[in-house]
A and B are shown apart, each in its own frame.
Chain A
Amino acid sequence: MKQVEVLIIGAGPAGLSAADILLEAGASVAIVDRSDRVGGQLTKQTHMFFGSQAHYASKRGIDILTILFDKIKHHPNLHMFTNTTVAGLYPDKVVACVQESRYFTLQAKAIIVATGASEKSLPFENNDLPGVYAAGAVQTLMNVYGVKPGDKVLMVGSGNIGLIVTYQLMQAGVIVPMLVEAAETISGYLVHASKIKRLGVDLRMRTSVKRALGTKHVEGAQIWQLDEQWQGIPGTEETIPVDTICLAVGLSPLTELLQQIGAEVTYINELGGHVPRLNDRFETTVDGVFACGDVAGIEEASSAMIAGTIAGLEAALKRGYKIENVAERRASLHASLATLRSGPHAAKIRKGHEKLGVKS
Chain B
Amino acid sequence: MIEKTGVPSKEAVLEQFPERIVLVKPKAIIECYKEIPCNPCSTSCPFDAIHVPEDINVRPTIDFDACTGCGICVYHCPGLAITVMQVKDQKVMMKIPYEFTPLPKVGEQRNVLDRSGAVLTQGTITKVQTSPKQEKTALIHVEMDAAHLHDAITIEVTHGSHES
Contacts and interface: CB of A to CB of B under 8 A. Distances in A.
Interface of A: 46-53, 57-60, 63, 170-171, 173, 184-186, 189-201, 203, 205, 302, 339-340, 342-346
B6 A47 contact: no
Given A48-B137, A49-B78, A190-B33, A58 B3 contact: no
A186 B76 CA distance: 24
B31 to A, nearest CB: 7
A12 to B, nearest CB: 19
A52 B78 CA distance: 11
A191 B137 contact: no
B137 to A, nearest CB: 7
Interface string B40-84: 100110000000001111000000000000000000111111000
A171 B2 CA distance: 24
Given A51-B38, A184-B4, A200 B117 contact: yes
B38 A50 contact: yes
B113 A53 contact: no
A165 B154 CA distance: 20
A52 B36 contact: no
A198 B100 contact: no
B163 interface: yes
B129 interface: no
A198 B113 contact: yes
A205 B6 contact: no
Residue of B6, B8, B114 with highest tally of chain A CB at under 10 A:
B6
Given A194-B79, A342-B57, A343-B57, 19 more contacts: A47-B78, A50-B78, A52-B39, A52-B56, A57-B39, A58-B78, A170-B100, A171-B99, A173-B163, A185-B3, A190-B33, A191-B34, A194-B31, A194-B81, A195-B80, A199-B156, A200-B113, A200-B117, A346-B37
Contacts of A46: 136
B114 A198 contact: yes
B37 A339 contact: yes
A47 B44 CA distance: 17
A345 B33 CA distance: 13
Contact of B78 (A48, A63, A201, A203): A48
